[in-house]
Amino acid sequence: MEIKGTEILVKVQSCGSCDPSTAEPDPYRAALSLQFQKGSLDAANSKQISDAIGEVFKIDSSPTPTKDSTAVVVEKPPAVVQLRLPAVYVSAQSPADQLQLNADNSFSLQEAGQKYRGTFVVNGNSLEINIPDTNTKNTMTIQGSNLADPSGQTWALRESSAPTSSSEGALRNEDIIKMAKVGIDDATIIAKIESSKRQFDTSTDALIQLKQSGVSAPVLKAMVGAVISPPGAAPTVASVATVPVLPSGVPTPLTPADGSVFDNIPRKTTVSWTAISGAVEYRVEVDYSFSGVWAPENPGHPTPPRTYSSKSTSLSFNFVGAQPGRWRVSAIDGEGRRSEPSPWWNFRYTR
């Protein structure tokens, strides 16, 4: 124990036999810093402080080991725990309470009749969950295949049954989210749905999560329609939504040139593209990159591109900040049918 200015520093070590003459073979060490207001420790009585701490920890009064001591202390780093995702954990006390962890680091929690959503991070053997709606963070401890919450309640991993031949290698919700986040167009995703075995979750909560992850309405319709047909069977024409493509093609970006760099403030950006016959309006998507990751691909908080509509072949918008950006455009005809989007064109603001 040390008294230094405005703090009391207590060094703590794990104790096996608690015999000072016997070296602890695999000890853990920690330092606790107790902060106090300036001047409050000026007249501190070290014995009173030691007596108070001694009610919680055993005071080691043995001599400090010399340099030639044979005892070697090696501090163990926290073990890194790998979770198998997706996974569902069920409360041992209230089986109706369930926590689902997804592969994109999002979670859904059903507890006490309430539903919560957010993101999670694994740090050593700790699982930190963040609930944006309530602006709260909770830390759970990973104990083998189970979790323990701060109140000590156990959440048991619900083992999924072994996959059958019909579901093995099936297309799932998380696969659709991955394809949407990297910018694969709707027509390609729907073609993949048509040609694959499928095991989709199309519950209300699952559809909301898909929409928030950037999956388009036509793809959602295709997923819902695919659930109607048996796993592994090709969807019927009536059950799958298709994405009609305007026969005249896809708009081509014109200005600014791909890879342009700007330093103007305000960051008003004007983009233009070629006209498409039969189009009554155009939809422009604008995306941004932070720390080298595009917003829809951010594992902690994926954000879909911002969408604008224009009746002409140009559009002006204010960009978010001094960082890379990109844009693309698609055409929409009088029946609301949308063409495939153009390739992404990139730009960057330096301030």
Query: HEC states along the chain?
Result: CEEECCEEEEEEECCCCCCCCCCCCCCCEEEEEEECCCCCCCCCCHHHHHHHHHCCCCCCCCCCCCCCCCCCCCCCCCCCCCCCCCEEEEECCCCCCEEEECCCCEEEEEECCEEEEEEEEEECCEEEEEECCCCEEEEEEEECCEEECCCCCEEEECCCCCCCCCCCCCECHHHHHHHHHCCCCHHHHHHHHHHCCECCCCCHHHHHHHHHCCCCHHHHHHHHHHHHCCCCCCCCHHHCCCCCCCCCCCCCEEECCCCEEECCCCCEEEEEECCCCCEEEEEEEEEEEECCEEHHHCCCCCCCCEEEEECCCEEEEECCCCCEEEEEEEEEECCCCECCCCCCEEEEECC
Give me the mean pLDDT over the 324-340 stretch.
88
Q: Which of 91-95, 162-166, 301-305 has the highest mean pLDDT?
A: 301-305
Q: Which two tokens stand for residue 160?
A: 């999924």
Give Cα 145 to chain centroid, integer Å: 21
42 pLDDT more than 80 = no
CA dihedral for 10, 14, 19, 23, sign (positive or negative): negative
Report residue 255's pLDDT band, with 50, 70 and 90 as the boundaries: very high
Count of domains in the chain? 4
Q: The domain that contains 302 carries what CATH number?
A: 2.60.40.10
User: Of 17, 52, 76, which residue constitutes the final position of a domain?
Assistant: 76
Judgement on whether residues 257 and 345 belong to the same structural domain of the protein? yes
- Residue 282 located in a structural domain: yes
What is the per-residue pLDDT for 183?
87
Q: Per the domain annotation, does 317 fall within a domain?
A: yes
Q: CA-based Rg of the chain, rounded to a whole angstrom?
A: 29
* Same domain, yes or no: 52 and 124: no
Task: Supply the pTM of this predicted model.
Answer: 0.34
Statement to judge: residues 3 and 49 lie in one domain: yes
Residue 26 confidence (pLDDT): 60
Per the domain annotation, does 81 fall within a domain?
no
Pair 318, 339: CB distance under 8 Å = no
Mean pLDDT along residues 175-194: 88
- Alpha carbon distance 186, 210 (integer Å): 14
The answer to whether position 288 is within a domain reads yes
Among the ranges given (81-85, 204-208, 210-214, 244-248), the one the predictor scored with the smallest mean pLDDT = 244-248
**268 and 216 share a domain?**
no
Q: Tell me the residue range of the domain where 29 lies.
A: 1-76
Residue 337 inside a domain? The answer is yes
Answer yes or no: do 148 and 186 share one domain.
Answer: no
**Is 134 among the domain residues?**
yes
The residues with which 157 forms a beta bridge, in sequence order, are: 89
Judged by average pLDDT, the poorest of 75-79, 99-103, 197-201, 299-303 is 75-79
* 111 within some domain: yes
Query: How far apart, in whole angstroms, are the C-alpha atoms of residue 108 and residue 99?
Result: 6
Going by pLDDT thresholds of 50, 70 and 90, the confidence category of residue 333 is confident
- pLDDT one-digit tens code per residue, 260-305: 999 999 999 999 999 988 888 999 999 999 888 998 888 877 888 8
**Whether residue 260 is found in the same domain as residue 340:** yes
pLDDT given at position 350: 94
**pLDDT mean over 184-191:** 86
| Residue 224 burial class via C-beta count within 10 angstroms: exposed 0-12, middle 13-18, buried 19 and up | middle
Interval 298-311: pLDDT, tens = 887 788 889 999 99
Query: Token pair for residue 21?
Result: 């003459």
